[in-house]
Amino acid sequence: MPTDRFSETVLLAAPPATLYAHLLDPHSYIGLSPLVVAVRDIRHAAGTTTYVAVERFRLGPLHWDNRIRVTLTAEIPDVRLISHVVSPGAVRLTATVDLAATPDGATSLTEAIEVSSPSLLRGFVVKQTSSVQRSRLAELARRFNR
């Protein structure tokens, strides 16, 4: 299965601990990721949170809810989070968020994504994933750069 990788960085006017706590909460992803409209079945265990995120795809008046399984791992407190996503259609995604404090008290956030998908879905998956990443980082900037 083809695998694609890409990364984006954004500067946010909040300390790493604030951003880390925000990103550890599955409810924060509603609206943060533009497709996520709900989170369900949240379970916490030893540095890991699992949940089901509901992504809503729209095509005119029609919509389709895609339920994805997310495992969010608190890898290094206030520094690194890793999300593993299992989506229907054999799509697998790993997003690694690294937070680095800047001298002025802000945070440089880098999100690296690795996504695997069947060849038939690859173009759609890469387009959606990169678009969602840009939107998510822009929304983080809106939330924290006030």
How confident is the model at residue 86, as a pLDDT?
Answer: 92
- The domain spans of the chain are 3-144
Domain at 3-144: CATH code = 3.30.530.20
For range 12-36, the mean pLDDT: 93
pLDDT tens by residue, 49-100: 999 999 888 878 888 888 999 999 998 889 999 999 998 889 999 999 999 9
pLDDT tens by residue, 38-48: 999 999 998 89
How confident is the model at residue 12, as a pLDDT?
Answer: 96
Give the pTM.
Answer: 0.90
Inter-residue contact 82 to 93 (CB < 8 Å): no
How confident is the model at residue 61, as a pLDDT?
Answer: 87
Strand bridging mode 62-76 / 80-87: antiparallel
| Count of Cβ atoms closer than 10 Å to residue 136 Cβ | 21
- Amino acid in position 64: W
